[in-house]
Amino acid sequence: MSEAKQKRIALVGSHHLSSLQALAKLADNKTLKFLLFGDAQKTLHLARSLNIATEHLEIQESDDETTLCSLAAQAAAEGHVDILMKGDVGSAALLKAVLNKHYNLVKEGSLLSHVAQMELPFYHKKLYLTDSAVAIAPTVSEKLKIIANALNLLASLGISKAKVALIAPVEKVNPRIQSTVDAQTIKELASQTDLFGDALVDGPFALDVALLQEAALVKHIDSPVAADADLLVMDNLDAANALYKAWTMVAHVKSSALVIGAQLPIVLTSRSDEYTTRVASLELALKASE
């Protein structure tokens, strides 16, 4: 039996406690290699405080986040990195480096987007949410790419016939509510073409209809997506980010998230996220990169 291929994780802004805690949690996995980009002195100090062996740590040093992000993007472009992970650097700085055409990490016509995986105590399966971190007010054409990105991720996780709910405040199309108009357009495009393969795309749905059988019954919504959605597609960043953060603050909710659409997955957790969320996101990235 051949040995598993080693995966290389680049931590950008490695002088960050909870990020190093996440790497320490995975340190026993010999198929993983960690490349660190950050302040070497601070990184080594934190690593020793976590009892991480420092003799073989590879650290590319700078105290400038733009430089760190560029160094990591260059390493990814040269094929030395399989997963990028944000540590103590800004999201905008890291994504700007990834989007820099010099590194060719995002193909022409592709779009970066964010997908969160949620395990909710009241829902019967893992639920995916997009886009709560990257796209601000996506157009219909951008939403099509966001959905395609998410479906590619779900397919890599074994969900080949995903049920996609297009979320809006109401189920009836109202020309004054752009989310309902966009949902109708996307639904029609999906039904008339092979745009999303075997995925089922429906909406507009209010959030309760997408998740709760009782709501679907009361509102007389007859759809295989209603109350059984795999993927929630939110209309804009305001709605998606608020929902994501509201859920992550609820007890017994497990979350992880990735930025996808580039040549490699990006773990873009908030600097305030606990290390358990980072570990879960890294594990999701590892599955996505298989």
Map residue 121 onto helix, strand or coil: coil
Residue with tokens 């795309």: 201
pLDDT of residue 2: 45
Q: How far is CA 281 from CA 23, 66, 118, 267, 290, in A?
A: 11, 23, 11, 6, 14
- The answer, yes or no, to whether the previous bond of 64 is cis (omega within 30 of 0) is no
Position 184 pLDDT exceeds 80 = yes
pLDDT of residue 58: 85
How do beta strands 200-205 and 163-167 pair? parallel
Position 22 pLDDT exceeds 50 = yes
Written as one letter, the residue type at 254 is K
Please give the model's pTM, rounded to 2 decimal places: 0.93
Where do the domains of the chain lie, and which CATH numbers do they carry? 7-106+262-288 (3.40.50.10950), 115-248 (3.40.718.10)
Q: Give percent of the chain above pLDDT 70.
A: 99
> Once rounded to an integer, what is the mean pLDDT over residues 135-151?
97
Angle between helices 17-25 and 40-49 (to 10 degrees): 50
> Once rounded to an integer, what is the mean pLDDT over residues 158-162?
94
Picking from 19, 81, 83, the residue whose alpha carbon sits closest to that of residue 278 is 19
Across the chain, what does the average pLDDT equal? 93
Position 152 pLDDT exceeds 90 = yes
Residue 178 pLDDT level (bands cut at 50, 70, 90): very high
- On whether the CB atoms of residues 232 and 210 are closer than 8 A, the answer is yes
Position 30 pLDDT exceeds 90 = no
Ramachandran class of 267: left when φ > 0, alpha when ψ lies in -120 to 50, beta otherwise: beta
Taking only the tens place, the pLDDT of each residue in 231-275 is: 999 999 999 999 999 998 887 899 999 999 999 999 998 777 778
Taking only the tens place, the pLDDT of each residue in 8-19 is: 999 999 999 999
Picking from 88, 96, 124, 89, the residue whose alpha carbon sits closest to that of residue 112 is 96
Position 1 pLDDT exceeds 50 = no
